[in-house]
Amino acid sequence: MKKAIFAVLLSALAAAPSVQAAAPVAKAVTPADDLKLYRSYFMKKFPGLPLDGYANGVYAIDRASRDGWEAIEEFPPYEPFVEEGKALWNKPFKNGKGYKDCFPGGPAQNKNFPYFNKVRKTVITQELAINECLQANGEEPLKYGKGKIASLLAYMAFESRGQKTNVEITPESLEAYNKGKQFYFARRGQLNFSCAQCHFQSVGQRIRSDILSPALGQTTHWPVYRATWGDMGTLHRRFEGCLEQVRAAPFKLQGEEYRNLEFFITHMSNGIPFNGPSFRK
Amino acid sequence: MTNIKTNALRWGLKGAVLFTLILPLGAPGPAQAAEAGATTPPPGKEIAFDRKLGNCLACHAIEGGDSPGDLGPPLAAMQQRFPDRAKLRAQIADPRKFNADTRMPPFGAYKILSDQEIDLVVDFIHKL
């Protein structure tokens, strides 16, 4: 049964427009079709787990690890980072302006990202928007992955709690979406693994002592304080880590590949509330 | 470790499980051997357990290994499951031959392990 559903997922990928040349008769698969298929896969796998619950990653599907996590969340290790991020947000640039001038809605921005910029024909993530804001104001951009950018994101995420994921795919952004999708389903690295083999096909199973989290909900709670890092990190830092695990060469943080990937997996979580920052093992 | 046996049996196996593992004490660890540029690889069990080499425990329960994963079946009663040693070797060298959609890495085909290392792992696994 499990196998059968995964075969459907794979054939859905094969029918993606970008590879349709090989199968011209196949009906185009829309992002809405994908959403339905992915959700039905997980809903069958974890009956009784409501959509919102997926925001908690592996802790939504494993009772034992959830207990420890809830205890940690009572004195969250990301709190000082939220504080630092708040100070960064409020500190004026040398020209007297500040982040609020780039983000008129205030720090609660999660629901607006990522989005596709039609003019520039590229996916804009929150990190990219932050650095473009800095550069437009004559400031040095921040290093991606961790450090100040993670603190700033932690504050913005905290302020965005309760907003819902809402990525819109339009005809213009379909190509970026499909590239992200292909990335997700392609095997890579010396260990020859795809993201989907771990986070769809093997979800809930153990790889050594780690229980694999569902792909659904993987984008709602960033940045994350990871015990393994002893530090705060961004979603792209995690992409890098997962690729390292399969001994694949990582890509540039905030490069086109990871931004397309983020676009694809965030769309999958449409409707799930943001609850970052968060703690993960 | 009875649960390895039970699990193995649950994967459709019959018969007794042989445990004949003795960790050779004092044998050089894989890292040491590599540093010294030694040509003798570590014993099969170490290759199988080392995270940087076989890392079989990431996906398989094996007698004597801590906190194994469960993507693949427990490796036990291997002689009953693989009377043909060559087939076991092929499963490790390139599992795609038996299952195109496999989640097991192609240890030989992708040169994750050398031929000699695979032989040693097969020696070890086949006795389980």
Q: Say what the pLDDT of residue A228 is.
A: 93
For β-strands A224-226 and A278-280, DSSP reports them as parallel
CB atoms B68 and A208 under 8 Å: yes
Quote the pLDDT of residue B13. 33
Report pLDDT for A9: 56
pTM, two decimals, is 0.86
> A7 CA to chain B: closest CA distance, Å?
9
Q: Given a cut of 70, is residue A212 above it in pLDDT?
A: yes
In angstroms, the separation between the Cα of residue A12 and the nearest Cα of chain B is: 15
Domain boundaries, chain A: 2-37+55-75+170-280, 79-159
Give A201's contacts in chain B (Cβ within 8 Å).
103
CA A176 from centroid of its chain's CA atoms: 15
Establish if A202 touches chain B: CB-CB under 8 angstroms: yes
Q: What is the pLDDT of residues A106-121, one digit of tens each?
A: 999 999 999 999 999 9
pLDDT tens per residue across span B36-73: 445 677 899 999 999 999 999 999 999 999 999 999 99
Alpha carbon distance A32, A217 (integer Å): 17
Lowest mean pLDDT among A124-138, A246-260, B4-18: B4-18
Which residue among A102, A133, A195, A242 is the active-site one? Answer: A242
Helix, strand and coil content of chain B, in percent to the nearest 5, comes to 40, 0, 60
- List pLDDT tens digits, range A13-64: 444 433 333 444 556 789 999 999 999 999 999 999 999 999 999 999 998 8
CB contact under 8 A, B57 and A208: yes
A122-167 pLDDT per residue, tens: 999 999 999 999 999 999 999 999 999 999 999 999 999 999 999 9
Task: Place B22 in a pLDDT band, splitting at 50, 70 and 90.
Answer: very low
CA–CA distance, B82 with B102 (Å, rounded to integer): 18
CA distance linking residue A177 with residue A28, whole number of Å: 14
Contact residues on chain A for B94, CB-CB shorter than 8 A: none
Smallest Cβ–Cβ distance between A192 and the set B55, B69, B110 belongs to: B110
- Domain A79-159 carries which CATH code? 1.10.760.10
CB A14 within 8 A of CB A23: yes
Q: Out of B67, B71, B110, name the one closest to residue A202 (CB).
A: B71
Please check whether the domain covering B43-126 is classified as CATH 1.10.760.10. yes
Q: Which pLDDT band, with edges at 50, 70 and 90, does B17 fall under?
A: very low
A65 interfacial to chain B (CB closer than 8 Å): no
Contacts of B69 in chain A (CB under 8 A): 205-210
Query: CA-nearest residue of chain B to A10?
Result: B101
Q: Do domains A2-37+55-75+170-280 and A79-159 have the same CATH topology?
A: yes
Q: Looking at the partner chain, which of A7, A10, A201 has a beta carbon nearest the beta carbon of B103?
A: A201
Interface of A with B in 171-190 (CB under 8 A): 190
Phi, psi for A11 (deg, rounded to 5): -70, -30
- Chain centroid to CA A153: how far? 13
Exposure string of A166-201, with b = 16+ CB inside 10 Å and e = fewer, is: bbebeeebbebbbbbbbbbbeeebebbbbbbbbbbb
* pLDDT in the model for residue A28: 75
Does the pLDDT value for residue A6 go beyond 80?
no
Q: How many residues does chain B have?
A: 128
Contact A209 B69 (CB under 8 A): yes
The CATH classification of domain A2-37+55-75+170-280, taken from the options 3.40.50.140, 3.40.50.720, 3.90.850.10, 1.10.760.10: 1.10.760.10
Closest-CA distance of chain B to residue A8, Å: 13
Mean pLDDT across the stretch A187-212?
95
Residue B39: predicted pLDDT: 62
B interface with A, Cβ–Cβ < 8 A, is: 55, 57-59, 67-71, 101, 103, 105-106, 110-112
CB pairs under 8 A between A and B: 40
Is residue A198 part of the annotated active site? The answer reads no
Residue A83: what pLDDT? 97
Chain A residues near residue B71 by CB distance under 8 angstroms? 202, 205-207
Q: How far is CA A178 from CA A36, A122, A183, A246, B30, in A?
A: 16, 13, 8, 22, 42
- The secondary structure element, H or E, covering residue B120 is helix B115-126
